[in-house]
Amino acid sequence: MNPATISGVIGVIAYALILRQLYKKSIEQNLASRLLWALLDGMVAVAIIYKGGTNWKMPAAYSLGCIAIAVVIIRHSTWTWKGIHTFIAAMVLTGAYSWLISGPVVATVILSCTVFIAGIPQIIDAYNTPFKNPVLPTVLQLMGAAVSASAGEWNIIDKMFALACLSYFVCLLGATLIPRFTERNVEAKS
């Protein structure tokens, strides 16, 4: 199996674990971030395919996983929309518009940067409530992004999204784990 396929399989497993924990209500996820990621990841997958890249399986798996998570969150009616989400939605539209004007390479750069920015609310949520953010799926997603970064050609189309995801998952894992070992959160869990 090639690295692009492995990263896609890891993504599916990670999202299956998130969905399981979400159904058990042992974690919380941010709906707006998930909806925007579903759009972003899907657009990046299409841009990679359109440009002839080979590293589209991870963003496709992430897009489908985000759609499934968004459906569960909506069914549980546990979501909010904040100003940052409106900003991110505008960036998604900017990425789509840039594709029309400049093509899939520029769109991939804009959308990949937006993927990281769209994760900021989830990083903040993970830091504020670290025990409600899943560790194992985050580690798997980090591994999937690392594998994806090793796949395909060394060009913007095949690497930008993987590197943006790798950066995001490092930050998310740090925001989840670091507070777990501080006195404030150890006491809060007791």
Task: Indicate the domain borders of the chain.
Answer: 3-189
Distance CA 131, CA 128 (A): 9
Question: Tokens at residue 77, please?
Answer: 């009616």
Task: Say if residue 107's pLDDT is above 60.
Answer: yes
| DSSP letter, residue 51 | T
Q: Per-residue confidence at 172, pLDDT binned at 50, 70, 90?
A: very high
Comparing C-alpha atoms, which of 58, 59, 75 is closest to residue 19?
75
Task: Say if residue 157's pLDDT is above 80.
Answer: no
Q: How far is CA 21 from CA 14, 53, 63, 79, in A?
A: 11, 33, 18, 17
Task: Say if residue 76's pLDDT is above 70.
Answer: yes
Cα 80 → chain centroid: 18
What does pLDDT average to over the chain?
83
Q: What is the pLDDT of residue 79?
A: 67
